[in-house]
A = this chain, B = another copy of it.
């Protein structure tokens, strides 16, 4: 392997000069800088990451805990990760995908100095990882907005506002009886932060608007249409619905299109998903990639020691459906 000593020798300078050329932390004569740069290029030198982080006490790596389990909307997760990765690359950070998804995985990564910061996805309303994170000496950002994370930076889409927005829009379209078809039961039962907040926003707005609103867990896939049919059977005057479930959306949309019911449908999902479905009244886009980018940027801010707001919520925007 090529070491900094090889580069120094090739360039006819000392080791520290090579180091300073790379870091820019010292003024170096143009001539020397060129010779070093040339040697680096010639030898295809890349500094040994571990040696560097041992000496500098920083890794340029962000630890990421991402949900790979079932029930989550995979497009959303992938896009958030893509956003994180893209932003991280521009900041010269790499992403360590933690292979353990509990609190101990986080503290291990931190104590072993594997990461400069931690990014935690799929946060539950009352998440045990929160107190662990608060006790660590590496900065962290949550994607989600759990209860009692006062000390931590949280970034997410504003699902509560999205729920309210959807209810308002349904009311505006003249619907009086409305329903939210949401995440699969396992996600709701875990009290995943975003699902809880969406429900809260939707129902509270229904209350204020004197709408009759209900919430239904919704399985992924064709089964979802049975849930919809059951709800419609029980409440025939239901006329407007909000769907927050990627996997169910196309099935429900197709089902309603070929059925007698005239339902106003709002979809809450990434814009690209909404585009692939026809028959929607409106949609509210989940800016998934933006969430990831915002989270990575918040982390950059923390790492740079900036003073930041603790909570960043991306606002929902109503879009008329393409069809």
User: Which of A22-76 touch B at CB < 8 Å?
Assistant: 44-51, 53-54, 59, 61, 64, 68-70, 74-75
CB <8 Å contact, B108 and A46 = yes
| Distance between Cα atoms of A44 and B1 in the complex (Å) | 34
Does chain B have a CB within 8 A of A95?
yes
| Distance between Cα atoms of A277 and B1 in the complex (Å) | 53
Q: Mark A104-142, 1 if CB is under 8 A from B, else 0.
A: 000110011110000000000000000000000000000
Does chain B have a CB within 8 A of A237?
no
Does chain B have a CB within 8 A of A223?
yes
A96, A98, A107 — most chain B CB neighbours (10 Å):
A96
CB <8 Å contact, A68 and B54 = no
CB <8 Å contact, B112 and A46 = yes
Residues of B within 8 A of A69 (CB): 82
CB <8 Å contact, B108 and A99 = no
User: Which of A268-295 touch B at CB < 8 Å?
Assistant: 272-273, 275-278
Number of copies: 2
| Distance between Cα atoms of A75 and B48 in the complex (Å) | 35
Partner of A75, one of B61, B74, B275: B74
CB distance from A240 to the nearest CB of B (A): 21
Partner of A276, one of B64, B81, B85, B223: B223
Contact count band on A: 35 or more
A44, A50, A89, A251 — most chain B CB neighbours (10 Å):
A50
Q: Mark A91-107, 1 if CB is under 8 A from B, else 0.
A: 00111111110000001
User: Which of A145-201 touch B at CB < 8 Å?
Assistant: none
CB <8 Å contact, B276 and A247 = yes
Chain B residue with Cβ nearest A51: B54
CB <8 Å contact, B81 and A68 = yes
CB <8 Å contact, A95 and B94 = no
Partner of A82, one of B68, B85, B278: B68
Partner of A97, one of B51, B94, B251: B94
| Distance between Cα atoms of A93 and B93 in the complex (Å) | 20
Does chain B have a CB within 8 A of A212?
no
CB <8 Å contact, B53 and A50 = yes
Does chain B have a CB within 8 A of A303?
no
| Distance between Cα atoms of A95 and B95 in the complex (Å) | 8
Chain B residue with Cβ nearest A91: B99
Does chain B have a CB within 8 A of A88?
yes
Q: A78-B77, A221-B276 are in contact. Are A49 and B251 (CB under 8 A)?
A: no
Chain B residue with Cβ nearest A137: B1
Does chain B have a CB within 8 A of A316?
no
Sample (18) of A-B pairs whose CB atoms are under 8 Å apart: A44-B111, A47-B112, A48-B54, A49-B114, A50-B51, A50-B53, A51-B54, A54-B54, A74-B74, A74-B78, A77-B78, A94-B99, A94-B114, A95-B96, A221-B273, A222-B278, A250-B254, A258-B258
Chain A residues packing against B (C-beta within 8 Å): 1-2, 44-51, 53-54, 59, 61, 64, 68-70, 74-75, 77-78, 81-82, 85-86, 88-89, 93-100, 107-108, 111-114, 220-223, 247, 250-251, 254-255, 258, 272-273, 275-278
